[in-house]
Amino acid sequence: MAGTLSGGERRMLNIGVALMSDPTMLIIDELSLGLMPKIVTELFNALKKVNEEKGISIFLVEQYVKKALEFSSRGYLMEKGKIVLDGDSNKMLYHPYIQEAYI
């Protein structure tokens, strides 16, 4: 039963169920919330593999900006409901504002 699974196992189950519908995009909100760093890394690696092997786009909302930008190809920074910065994730990772405010 899914109720007996750990938080990380439940996240993996949710992603697996979503993948069964053969989506073109996954929308994931706060992948890392409440999980141990090791599990978060495993989930990011699994999603990277899904993206590369299946060609499924992933829209990720994430509080850990550094990890999200390292994972993604494009980033958007929202503050108070407005996009204040966007672009190539590698460039955004080293943007002075992101470095100062989020990393």
One domain for residues 28 and 43: yes
CATH number of the domain residue 5 falls in: 3.40.50.300
Query: Looking at 7-11, 63-67, 99-103, which range is the least confident one?
Result: 7-11
Q: How many domains does the chain have?
A: 2
| Residues sharing a CB contact under 8 Å with residue 48, sequence separation 6 or more, in sequence order | 71
One domain for residues 53 and 93: no
Q: Is the pLDDT reported for residue 80 higher than 90?
A: yes
Domain that holds residue 37: 1-63
Cα–Cα dist 91/56, whole Å: 23
One domain for residues 58 and 70: no
| Residues sharing a CB contact under 8 Å with residue 54, sequence separation 6 or more, in sequence order | 19
One domain for residues 57 and 21: yes
Give mean pLDDT, residues 67-83: 93
If phi > 0 it is left, if psi is from -120 to 50 it is alpha, else beta; for residue 34 that is: left
One domain for residues 41 and 89: no
Cα–Cα dist 56/101, whole Å: 31
